[in-house]
């Protein structure tokens, strides 16, 4: 993919920081891909969602890649699939790590981590910008998520405050729900996608005209390539 991975754009030194509208567009693209995988017809659990597996095309559309760990989800009356625990530390849902019980809600947790990375510009594990705190980004950020007076503390300083405060608060609250310790209380990816699309609309309204024209130009023409969320 021409623009490489999301990991490079968020964490590689010397790369120009992504604008708020671009970050939300990427989150929407990823949510759309996972929503499709979790649909009744597909019933696939991705199982290894992380920044390095999200690839970016020339117009900053995001695509899911590397389906080597994907697994067909539970069928019939089954509530989960029992598997050997695989994935990447910092992104895997705690109940999956503890039991090996695989459900679509495991992907929802991983998406919450990626959304948190998009908001904060920090890595899922042991980021130096967290003041040398050992542990996960989730552990560091959880106290601030969903708090209208505290959520701004997690936001990427490279955005220089150029983002919708209402949209950022909505996104941080959504991330908190995705990261809920009880998987039953996490939203489905369909719900996540619907909420992010509303944040995206607001982000576009608050984007300067010249940037907006470029954004509309690259997202307004439907095509099989644009509609695909997979590399």
Structure tokens at 59: 């117009």
207 within domain boundaries: yes
pTM for this one?
0.85
On whether residue 88 sits in a domain, the answer given is yes
Residue 72 within any structural domain of the chain: yes
pLDDT of residue 131: 55
Domain membership flag for residue 42: yes
Q: How many other C-beta atoms can be found within 10 angstroms of the C-beta atom of residue 132?
A: 8
Strands 81-82 and 101-102: antiparallel
Query: Is residue 96 one of the residues assigned to a domain?
Result: yes
Mean pLDDT by 10 residues, the chain (231 residues): 92 92 97 93 91 95 91 71 80 92 94 97 78 75 87 94 93 96 96 96 68 48 52 66
Q: What is the pLDDT of residue 221?
A: 45
> What per-residue confidence (pLDDT) applies to 130?
58
C-alpha R_g of the chain = 17
- Domain annotation covers residue 37: yes
* 48 catalytic residue (yes or no): yes
pLDDT of residue 224: 43
Domain assignment of residue 102, given as a range:
6-227
Q: What pLDDT score does 203 carry?
A: 79
Per the document, the length of the chain is 231
Residue 142: phi, psi to the nearest 5?
-50, -40
Angle at 67 between CA 123 and CA 33, to 5 degrees: 75
Is position 142 within any domain?
A: yes
Find the catalytic residue in 29, 48, 107, 127. 48
The reply to whether 1 falls in a domain is no
Number of domains in the chain: 1
- How distant is the alpha carbon of residue 42 from its chain centre? 20
- 189-205 vs 20-37: helix crossing angle, rounded to 10: 160
Q: What is the CATH number of the domain that holds 70?
A: 1.10.510.10
């Amino acid at each position: 993919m021409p623009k490489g991975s999301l990991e490079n754009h968020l964490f590689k030194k010397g790369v120009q920081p992504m604008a708020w509208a671009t970050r939300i567009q990427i989150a929407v693209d990823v949510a759309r891909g996972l929503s499709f995988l979790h649909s009744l017809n597909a019933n696939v659990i991705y199982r290894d969602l992380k920044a390095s597996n999200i690839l970016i095309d020339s117009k900053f559309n995001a695509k899911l890649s590397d389906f080597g760990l994907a697994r067909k989800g539970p069928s019939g009356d089954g509530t989960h699939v029992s598997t050997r625990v695989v994935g990447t530390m910092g992104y895997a849902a705690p109940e999956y790590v503890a039991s090996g019980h695989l459900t679509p809600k495991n992907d929802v947790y991983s998406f919450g981590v990626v959304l948190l990375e998009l908001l904060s510009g920090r890595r899922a594990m042991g980021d130096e910008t967290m003041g040398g705190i050992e542990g996960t980004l989730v552990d560091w950020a959880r106290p601030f998520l969903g708090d209208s007076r505290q959520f701004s503390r997690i936001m990427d300083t490279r955005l220089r405050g150029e983002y919708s405060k209402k949209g950022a608060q909505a996104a941080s609250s959504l991330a908190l729900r995705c990261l809920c310790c009880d998987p039953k209380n996490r939203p489905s990816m369909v719900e996540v996608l619907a909420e992010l699309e509303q944040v995206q609309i607001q982000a576009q309204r608050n984007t300067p005209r010249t940037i907006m024209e470029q954004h509309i130009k690259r997202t307004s023409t439907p095509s099989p390539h644009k509609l695909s969320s997979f590399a």
